[in-house]
Amino acid sequence: QQQVKQSPQSLIVQKGGISIINCAYENTAFDYFPWYQQFPGKGPALLIAIRPDVSEKKEGRFTISFNKSAKQFSLHIMDSQPGDSATYFCAATHSGTYKYIFGTGTRLKVLA
Amino acid sequence: DAGVIQSPRHEVTEMGQEVTLRCKPISGHNSLFWYRQTMMRGLELLIYFNNNVPIDDSGMPEDRFSAKMPNASFSTLKIQPSEPRDSAVYFCASSTGLEQYFGPGTRLTVT
């Protein structure tokens, strides 16, 4: 019940296209869902996060869509650029613990 | 403001040796997390501290692993004795609440 399932494992998108990464969780106590971006040789960097009281959050080209009833959330990268090529991790936590459960990661490659 | 600082960035050691990884959290952050990242197991939380006190160490793989946080600005993760299967990238992260900020990591290779 603690798992966060992430898909796809890898994704190739043309420059200017939309990249979509999906995550699903089981624990209904989770109430904070961040996405992290990791470049090779670097630590994960917080990209965007959402709480379950909203269905969508947008920051620039990055949007999180959240479906509470389905226990799913997704990251959409609009107008994908080669510089977006990285590994993306979703995560979930309960605000009482601050203990993140990470998805397995999606390796995104954006072709120039 | 400086981010999370980790040292060393790379460590190569022989099996059986003691390894100490160091972390300086972001000033003012009261929670600190140690993670391990491998291809096989992804990002795993090893232990986390709140106000310098260990809250959850259920992710620490075995007694060979230990972590300390003697003050708000310093933490160590020690492996003694090290084994080849400990080879991984170890990250430290800090936070004041829900948002965690990661350091650059220490790549550990045990031969």
How many distinct structural domains can be found in chain A? 1
By the CB < 8 Å criterion, does A29 face chain B?
A: no
The model's pLDDT over B15-61, given as tens digits with 9 standing for 90+, comes to 999 999 999 999 999 999 999 999 988 999 999 999 999 999 999 98
**pLDDT, average across residues B70-74:** 96
Which pLDDT score is estimated for B10? 97
Q: Which residues contact A10 (CB under 8 A, 6 or more apart)?
A: A106, A107, A108, A109
Q: Is A45 on the interface with B (CB under 8 A)?
A: yes
Decide if B4 and A43 are in contact by the 8 Å CB cutoff. yes
Q: Is A104 on the interface with B (CB under 8 A)?
A: yes
- Contact criterion met (CB < 8 Å) for A49 and B98: yes
Per-residue pLDDT at A1: 60
Cβ–Cβ contact A44 with B under 8 A: yes
- The answer to whether A88 contacts chain B (CB < 8 Å) is no
The residue among B30, B31, B33 whose CA lies nearest residue B103 is B33
Which pLDDT does position B4 carry in this prediction?
A: 97
User: Which residues on B lie below 8 Å from A34 (Cβ)?
Assistant: 98-100
Residues 6+ apart with CB under 8 A from A53: none
The pair of structure tokens assigned to A50 is: 């959402």
Domain extent, residue A9, equals 4-111
Question: How high does pLDDT run on average in chain B?
Answer: 95
Residue with tokens 């992430």: A6
Query: Among B43, B50, B101, whose Cβ lies nearest the Cβ of A46?
Result: B101
For A1-112, strand residue ranges (E) read 4-7, 10-14, 19-25, 33-38, 45-50, 56-59, 62-67, 72-77, 86-92, 101-102, 106-111
Nearest neighbour of A98 by CB, restricted to B98, B102, B103: B98
Report the alpha-carbon distance of residue A49 to residue A34 in Å, rounded: 4
Residues in B closer than 8 angstroms to A102, CB to CB, are 42-43
Cβ atoms of residues B91 and B37 within 8 Å: yes
pLDDT in tens, chain A (112 residues): 678 999 999 999 999 999 999 999 999 999 999 999 999 999 999 999 999 999 999 999 999 999 999 999 999 999 999 999 999 999 999 887 778 999 999 999 999 9
Quote the CA–CA distance of A42 and A36 in Å, as a whole number. Answer: 12
B18 touches chain A (CB under 8 A): no
Determine, for residues B56 and A32 on separate chains, whether the beta-carbon distance falls below 8 Å: no
Q: What percent of chain B has pLDDT over 90?
A: 91
CATH number of the domain encompassing residue A34:
2.60.40.10
Are A46 and B91 an interchain contact pair (Cβ–Cβ within 8 Å)?
Answer: no
CA angle B45, B46, B49 (to 5 degrees): 95
Q: What is the pLDDT of residues A93-102, one digit of tens each?
A: 988 777 899 9
